[in-house]
Amino acid sequence: MGTRPKELAALLASVERQDAPAERVVVVGNGADPGPLPEWAEAVRTETNLGCPGGRNVAMRRLRSPATPDDAVDVIVELDDDGLLPHAGVFRLVRERFAAEPTLGVLAFRIADETGHTQRRHIPRLRATDPMKAGPVTHFLGGGHAFSVPMLEQIGDWPAEFFFGHEESDLSWRALDAGWTIRYEPDAVLQHPRTSPARHAVYYRNTARNRVWLARRRLPAVLVPVHLGVWAGLTLARTRSASGLRAWAGGFAEGVRTPCGERRPMRWSTVWRMTRLGRPPVV
């Protein structure tokens, strides 16, 4: 966003400390002035707030449009401006993992707070209790991750129309359906303040609308009502806020009645692959 200058400065300092330097660094002021930056960082400012996925698309397109062939990159790391890299070897680890696995599309970082604790919701597995277990998963967290540029060229960018909420799932499902691997790497740590996603004013409405859009866009027709039914039941059981439930219901209705974008349902082989990985796309 460009509204956290102290946090951004700390993040950039941690980027500069990496023992495998970044080839290029782009900072997006998403509807705001990113402020003074080191000379090695490129600044891009958007006129309006494009949301999380829209702002990330701006940076990715800049990185994928090099001024010279020497500026071309094959892996893109995305980091939230209120996070930082507590260890100097993260970028080196990213390079090693992508070099060793040609089908690796997404490397998911471990999100940890100031004490080193990883919240349960930040572990990309169902019923997971061990945040240090690495391996293939079906999902990743948007705060810290790395993308294969060839993967992006094949499957496309973030779904900008989502603005906030479930954009990671949309990109994950497209990546898996195209045959790419998503790998959770707990040794690649992004330190991030302990927060709740419900702190955002648009959380309940966008979560509901985007979940419906996601199911309509990416699931085989027979699984759409199953997925939404399971998710609606869990939401009603877990949500204690009456105002939140009203916003959620409004978002659900919006997701049903509005265009969801291009429908490209995943193959049944992808459904089975996700099931074998421990997260069938009905949960």
Question: pLDDT for 243-277, tens place per residue?
Answer: 999 999 999 999 999 999 999 999 999 999 999 99
Residue 189: the pLDDT is 98
Query: Can you tell me the mean pLDDT for 134-153?
Result: 96
Flag whether pLDDT at 2 surpasses 70. Answer: no
Flag whether pLDDT at 1 surpasses 60. Answer: no
Flag whether pLDDT at 195 surpasses 90. Answer: no
Q: Under a CB-based contact definition with an 8 Å cutoff, are residues 186 and 131 in contact?
A: yes
Query: Can you tell me the mean pLDDT for 175-199?
Result: 89
C-alpha 21/C-alpha 37 separation (Å) is: 17
C-alpha 27/C-alpha 35 separation (Å) is: 10
Mean confidence (pLDDT) of the chain = 94
Residue 117: the pLDDT is 93
Instruction: Tell me the torsion sign for CA atoms 107, 126, 114, 49.
Output: positive
Q: Of the ranges 73-82, 110-119, 157-166, 197-206, which one carries the lowest mean pLDDT score?
A: 197-206
Q: How far apart are the first and last CA of the chain?
A: 31
